[in-house]
Structure 1
Amino acid sequence: MVSWLEELDRREAAAREEIAELRAQIVELTRRLAGREEVLSRLVITRETMTEILTWEDHVTQEWLDDFAALGKQARNQMGGSAQ
């Protein structure tokens, strides 16, 4: 017959072993979580950037492009470059 002290020792050892396994799993899961959070962050930034680009393109008109070209020409003239 197993004494109560031996049974207690066995249960404590089993609990310690399970705790060690759980801690190892937590370390691995934390590493994996950080990796997935990084991927998500990059995807969110990409979505925001593409939304800005596409929204900006919707507001670009020929008049705006002509004005922008004229400003560039004016800047080149002021800097002494050719106005081509």
Structure 2
Amino acid sequence: MRRHEFKPGRLIAGLFLTLTGVIYAGDAGGLWETPWFAVIPLVTGGLCLAAVTGSVAHGIRRRRRRRTAPARDGAGAPG
């Protein structure tokens, strides 16, 4: 089985959207009362946090890949 890259931005987006689903499910089940507009800041905040996390993780991955890549000086190139 091939391993996949860990994408923390997707994890955070999934957690916030799951939390939103739980809030709506609790409201539908009658456990609590949730106004319709209460989850808008939760979803937008979660997506913004996921975007920032994904960008930071991408920058770290790119920097790490650049640091571990072998230097290409043209000596081994066919010519």
**Normalised by the size of structure 1, how large is the TM-score?**
0.45
- Between the two structures, name the one with larger relative contact order (CA 8 Å, sep ≥ 6): 2
Pick the structure with greater CA Rg.
1
